[in-house]
Amino acid sequence: MKKIFSIIGLFSIILGQKDFVIPFDWAGQNGYIINNGKLFWNQSWTSGMLLFDGTYSSYPMKFGSHTSKNFSSQAMDDIPAFSSLPDSTKNISYLDYYRGDYSYDQLELGANSESKDEMVELRGFKRSHGGNLGHYIHPAGGLSPIHHSYRVNYGVERNNIKYESSVARYITRSGLPDSTYNGSENDNIISAGLRFQQKLKNFTLDSYIGQFLQHRIIKHTTVNDSNYNDINRSQFIFQLTSQRNFSFGIRYNAQQINLTNFNRLVNWTTLYGYKSYGKFSLLLGSQFLMPDKSNIFIWSINYKQNFGKVSIQVLSKTLSKPVHPDFYLKDDGNNFENWTNNKINASINFKNFVANSFF
């Protein structure tokens, strides 16, 4: 195990990527991500305004480039970032088509309608692939893609008010490699999100609401539950930021998971204050966990210093998140797990070479 993490760390240094992708196949259907030096798993994330529950959806590349290119792991003080708005009127469309071995076939479509401080984006994506051993062929047959998705983004700014919204649908119908015959994955996801911002006299008001719905079934010899699983995940953020870079925020999260032998509804509310002092930032707050009826003290301390082409970042943070359903019984029936992350990140930027290392 130490050798595996040493190799991953070496690749992170060589390639200089904070998000290091480890695909299981060339098509990009399944794989892992190493995010900021550690495996990204069972964590919520966003793509633009879209919210994703990371319980069973931790590989953004699966959902197409319109989603993966805007991947961002969520931090306690983060609100999904606005897209850049155009300063002129124009219409853009594009089509990218890829074809390869083992019935690999991928299509990406997009269209933008832009005017000053307003944009509408339409995106479509589909991937077909049999796999080098035919393992992505669905056991029920059919000619449908192993994944296809559709997305709409809208953003506008008027005077001191700005908002952006997105909605998307993701459909997976794929075979899975198994011991004697192909397993299968059928997955349907609907995600939507909206951010609103208004600049007041002395403060900036930010609010965000995100919703994620997932309906999936996996048939595989390693999976005991061969019935449909459902996840309902929601998030609401309200934040006030002063002109002196001080913020106060409230974040409400809820997650409902319905499996055959496991049904759980949890919610956690975070109250926090954030202050930036240039190179140094500090976040302090408290998380209230339900139905455990407990609360924990949270913090995030971040210091970053640039030395020309070299930079060093020191980070310490703690938080709670729901225990994965597969580990609920192994964790004595606790609904939440507490994480403390201490990290030193050294980065070197020399001409066309960039390297990052994490400790």
pLDDT above 70 coverage of the chain, percent: 91
Contacts 24+ apart (CB under 8 A), 178-181: 178/135, 178/220, 178/221, 179/221, 181/139
Q: What pLDDT sits at residue 126?
A: 97
Question: What are the tens digits of pLDDT across the range 262-300?
Answer: 899 999 999 999 998 888 999 999 999 999 889 999 999
Confidence of residue 65 (pLDDT cuts 50, 70, 90): very high
Q: Is residue 72 part of a domain?
A: yes
Confidence of residue 99 (pLDDT cuts 50, 70, 90): very high
pLDDT above 90 coverage of the chain, percent: 64
Q: Is residue 173 part of a domain?
A: yes
Phi and psi angles of residue 295, each rounded to the nearest 5 degrees, phi first: -145, 150
Q: Is residue 255 part of a domain?
A: yes
Q: Is residue 185 part of a domain?
A: yes
Cis peptide before 291 (omega within 30 of 0): yes
Closest CA to 183 of 247, 138, 237: 138
Q: Is residue 201 part of a domain?
A: yes
Instruction: Inform me whether the pLDDT recorded for 251 exceeds 60.
Output: yes
**Separation of CA 118 from chain center:** 25
Q: Is residue 20 part of a domain?
A: no
Domain count for the chain: 1
What is the span of the domain harbouring residue 207? Answer: 40-84+150-358
Question: What are the tens digits of pLDDT across the range 196-213?
Answer: 999 998 999 999 999 999
Q: Is residue 220 part of a domain?
A: yes
pTM for the full predicted model:
0.90
- Which secondary-structure segment (H or E) carries 303? strand 294-307
Chain-wide mean pLDDT for the chain? 89
Q: Is residue 211 part of a domain?
A: yes
